[in-house]
Structure 1
Amino acid sequence: MKNIKDKKIAIIGAGPGGLTLARLLQMDGFNVNVYERDTDENARPKGATLDLHEESGLAALREAGLMDAFMANFRPGADRTRIVDQHGHIVFEDNDTQNREAFRPEIDRGPLQKILLDSLAKDTVIWNSHFETLKPEGDSWLIEFKNRNSVQADIVIAADGAHSKIRPYITPIKAFYSGVTVVEGAVYASATASPKIHTLLNGGKIFAMGSEKSLIVSSKGDGSLVFYTGCNTTENWANESGIDFSDKHQVINWFKNEFSDWDAIWLELFENASTAFVPRPQYCMPFDQSWETVSNLTMLGDAAHLMPPYAGEGVNMAMLDALELSRCFKNEDFQNSQEAISVYEKQMLKRASETAELTMQSTAALHSADALDFLRNIMTVE
């Protein structure tokens, strides 16, 4: 597009999607800043590792010129997967990292964030910028933050995640509850703190399934592990359960009761958890969502198409959104930003709808009586 490089673009949110978009636009001389509520890049703990897919996350990094940096920081072998039953017995093992048809390398969130941050011009990311309101000013926007700072931008991109505060400016459509709530925890120095699970993990991932529940464990490059249970619950279970999730003993008692027919080996995770547990009810955007395009406002990633994590598509979808949106902005065949955003949103929504539907099918299957067979069949096909 001929005139968009003269416009000031504001990306709200410094997750992988927002940072990838900033990098792709800066490469072509676009005027872009990223506004992030965290005070700095190390302000919060980084979650589970990410597996990047060839057609999405890796495609975005390749176009961003960052594959060398990625190859220097990804974790070979971290994509090793063990499917186990509730007693800790291995029912399927995937160690064939050399000959696997689909190369899906794992990288920790911290190193991926650093690769993207280091690729940006100095002061591209404005930290401690917690979004508060968006006000139209002619053909542009006034963005106000909680620290009382404000900034004007011609185009605003919402990359602010599952609880996006910008999404309501675009559409009133809300996510629906998936039926599953996750309880997340972490163990530091897992080799000594949780030796049995650390050995079973073998530097990769564990998918434990049984009695219509799941427990997924991921190793991290810093020697820690993260884990999250998945249970079929009511939407407000976390608030109505009476459990104080910052109290380890209460969570242990809940786990012993809720997972009473699971082997005691799993208690090692809960007894040695290093941080407070976090309950996360899982939501998904409607498969048929659509809205009228706004000429100077759009969104990507979870803000646009939130879905549960049971297909491993979240970060890949966000990075592919960034890739496709950047291409639309750079396409000189489009007459204006309205046309570019409209084309981007149509293809993004179609793709997201298909992925969300598959994700919800996977979410239900992994919390059913046939979960082990379902997951084993997927791994065998891949």
Structure 2
Amino acid sequence: MILNHQKIAIVGGGPGGLTLARLLQMSGADVRVYERDYGKNARVQGATLDLHEDSGLEALRRAGLLEAFYDSYRPDAGRMRILDKHGDIHVDDHAAEKAFAEDRPEIDRAPLRKILLDSLQEDTVVWDSQFVSMERQDAGWLMYLKNGTQAYADVVIAGDGANSKIRPYLTALAPVYSGVTIVEGNIYNASTNAPRLWELVRGGKIFAFGDEQSLILSAKGEGSLSFYTGCKVSENWVQESGIDFTQKDGVFAWFKEAFGSWNDFWQELFTSNEIGLIPRPQYHFPLDQRWESLPNLTMLGDAAHRMPPYAGEGVNMAMQDAFELAECLTSGAFTDIHAAIADYEDRMLKRASQITQMSLEMTAMLHSADPIAQMVAMMSGE
């Protein structure tokens, strides 16, 4: 195997990075994951994840974790309701015998992370290790971490997300603004703090549309409710708005104005102080992005191909990256690591271009003048 005696560093302990670590360890590789969270019990934000047969589920299958996944997934979490801004229900997946996304089983982020962490050898993840910078040393890299420590690796793999600090070591290609910014919220103890919306979501998802805006709600098994507002605003809106997104009242004031024509019951999203909020301008990388492959550095997931979330492909792309990269590095098909990385990147970038295009089309459709009709047509196979 071309990884004999090579020290592999994966920066970022998301699903992609942890999946890669598991697959590499199954082949005997020496791998460490450097994660900025303080420990494995850190609170995991974000909506539930739907895994697709040929990507996310295939990664778990190769990792020997499919049974563990089905022990922890939420069978009805993918059932959706499509509403307009007034609260009228146009599609009710709960009333159907077969859910629209039944072939895309859903799992909360925290249980998926636990499954992957539990599959790794002890001390694989180095916690409280946020990447700051690195420099070439011998044939590899010396990494500098925020906690003041250093770590050497022969090969570094960036899994550090959409705002990757490692990506600039490979390419200067900048992301492109999609035209939509999300305000993400997480409401804890939602049955108490947002009872009407909690009842309406029924353990699944809500997609609501109006005025070329979107509002997506997702229930989680531990009782929280995540939501994403989607609005067409300028690229610098977060800074120019003057909103302090650490303070709920300012965000609530913006919501009441921006979604002023929506039914007042949506404002229940902001009635509790048990809430976390963060703005997320949505970017993507150029569809034709390319860079010169290096023999000791590559990327996976959002670091390589960030895109808006509206096609549900982010985690699936990252996990497919993981099993394709692991296969290149461990299959014996290549004479050296450089050739393996180059082949992986070529296939990954072609795939990412197609999926990014699809995600951008979905983003535009969901924020168009009449997305509900288009959603209904799509779900009916038209």
How would you bin the TM-score normalised by the shorter chain?
A: over 0.9
Paired letter, 1:62: R
Change beyond 3 A, Cα 1:248–1:58 = same
Instruction: Quote how far apart the aligned CAs of 1:152 are.
Output: 1.3
Instruction: Name the TM-score, length of structure 1 as normaliser.
Output: 0.97
Number of aligned residue pairs: give it: 381
Conserved in 2, the CA contact under 8 Å of 1:247 and 1:276?
A: no
Conserved in 1, the CA contact under 8 Å of 2:187 and 2:276?
A: no
Paired letter, 2:332: E
2:173 aligns to what SS in structure 1?
coil
Conserved in 2, the CA contact under 8 Å of 1:185 and 1:273?
A: no
Conserved in 2, the CA contact under 8 Å of 1:245 and 1:276?
A: no
Instruction: Quote how far apart the aligned CAs of 1:165 are.
Output: 0.4
Larger CA deviation: 170-179 vs 191-200: 191-200
Change beyond 3 A, Cα 1:100–1:275 = closer
1:92 aligns to what SS in structure 2?
strand
Q: Which residue does the alignment assign to 2:33?
A: 34
Q: Which residue does the alignment assign to 2:280?
A: 280
Instruction: Quote how far apart the aligned CAs of 1:101 are.
Output: 7.6
Fraction of identical pairs, as percent: 55
Q: Which residue does the alignment assign to 2:228?
A: 228
Conserved in 1, the CA contact under 8 Å of 2:193 and 2:271?
A: no
Q: Which residue does the alignment assign to 1:85?
A: 84
Instruction: Quote how far apart the aligned CAs of 1:98 are.
Output: 4.6
Q: Which residue does the alignment assign to 2:68?
A: 69
Give the Cα–Cα distance (whole angstroms) in 2 for the partners of residues 74 and 62 of structure 1. 15
Q: Which residue does the alignment assign to 2:49?
A: 50
Give the Cα–Cα distance (whole angstroms) in 2 for the partners of residues 179 and 294 of structure 1. 33
Alignment pair present for 1:134 and 2:101: no
Alignment pair present for 1:173 and 2:168: no
Conserved in 1, the CA contact under 8 Å of 2:191 and 2:223?
A: yes
Instruction: Quote how far apart the aligned CAs of 1:137 are.
Output: 1.4
Change beyond 3 A, Cα 1:97–1:63 = farther
Q: Which residue does the alignment assign to 2:373?
A: 373
Change beyond 3 A, Cα 1:273–1:320 = farther
Unaligned runs of 5+ in 1: none
Instruction: Quote how far apart the aligned CAs of 1:102 are.
Output: 5.4
Paired letter, 2:313: E
Alignment pair present for 1:108 and 2:108: yes
Give the Cα–Cα distance (whole angstroms) in 2 for the partners of residues 223 and 291 of structure 1. 43
Give the Cα–Cα distance (whole angstroms) in 1 for the partners of residues 378 and 5 of structure 2. 47
Instruction: Quote how far apart the aligned CAs of 1:132 are.
Output: 1.3
Conserved in 2, the CA contact under 8 Å of 1:159 and 1:302?
A: yes
Larger CA deviation: 357-366 vs 270-279: 270-279
Change beyond 3 A, Cα 1:123–1:170 = same
Deviations 1:19-48 (A, max 9, x none): 000000101111111011111122344221
Instruction: Quote how far apart the aligned CAs of 1:228 are.
Output: 1.2
Give the Cα–Cα distance (whole angstroms) in 2 for the partners of residues 97 and 318 of structure 1. 32
Instruction: Quote how far apart the aligned CAs of 1:277 are.
Output: 2.0
Alignment pair present for 1:191 and 2:168: no
Give the Cα–Cα distance (whole angstroms) in 2 for the partners of residues 243 and 101 of structure 1. 36
2:52 aligns to what SS in structure 1?
coil
Q: Which residue does the alignment assign to 1:250?
A: 250
Conserved in 2, the CA contact under 8 Å of 1:86 and 1:210?
A: yes
Give the Cα–Cα distance (whole angstroms) in 2 for the partners of residues 115 and 97 of structure 1. 30
Conserved in 2, the CA contact under 8 Å of 1:248 and 1:271?
A: no
Q: Which residue does the alignment assign to 1:150?
A: 150
Give the Cα–Cα distance (whole angstroms) in 2 for the partners of residues 381 and 288 of structure 1. 30
Give the Cα–Cα distance (whole angstroms) in 1 for the partners of residues 240 and 148 of structure 2. 36
Change beyond 3 A, Cα 1:195–1:275 = closer
Deviations 1:173-216 (A, max 9, x none): 11111101111112222222212111210110000011100000
Deviations 1:80-110 (A, max 9, x none): 0111100111101223475768511111110
Give the Cα–Cα distance (whole angstroms) in 2 for the partners of residues 306 and 5 of structure 1. 32
Instruction: Name the TM-score, length of structure 2 as normaliser.
Output: 0.97
Q: Which residue does the alignment assign to 1:364?
A: 364
Instruction: Quote how far apart the aligned CAs of 1:249 are.
Output: 2.2
Conserved in 1, the CA contact under 8 Å of 2:179 and 2:282?
A: yes
1:381 aligns to what SS in structure 2?
coil
Instruction: Quote how far apart the aligned CAs of 1:223 are.
Output: 1.1
2:321 aligns to what SS in structure 1?
helix
Superposition RMSD in Å: 1.4
Unaligned runs of 5+ in 2: none
Larger CA deviation: 336-345 vs 189-198: 189-198
User: Which runs of 4 or more aligned residues in structure 1 lie more than 3 Å from their structure 2 counterparts after TM superposition?
Assistant: 95-102
Q: Which residue does the alignment assign to 1:217?
A: 217
Conserved in 1, the CA contact under 8 Å of 2:79 and 2:101?
A: no
Q: Which residue does the alignment assign to 1:267?
A: 267
Conserved in 1, the CA contact under 8 Å of 2:78 and 2:99?
A: no
Give the Cα–Cα distance (whole angstroms) in 1 for the partners of residues 70 and 294 of structure 2. 38
Change beyond 3 A, Cα 1:358–1:92 = same
Give the Cα–Cα distance (whole angstroms) in 1 for the partners of residues 232 and 374 of structure 2. 17
2:4 aligns to what SS in structure 1?
helix
2:136 aligns to what SS in structure 1?
strand
Conserved in 2, the CA contact under 8 Å of 1:10 and 1:157?
A: yes
Paired letter, 2:5: D
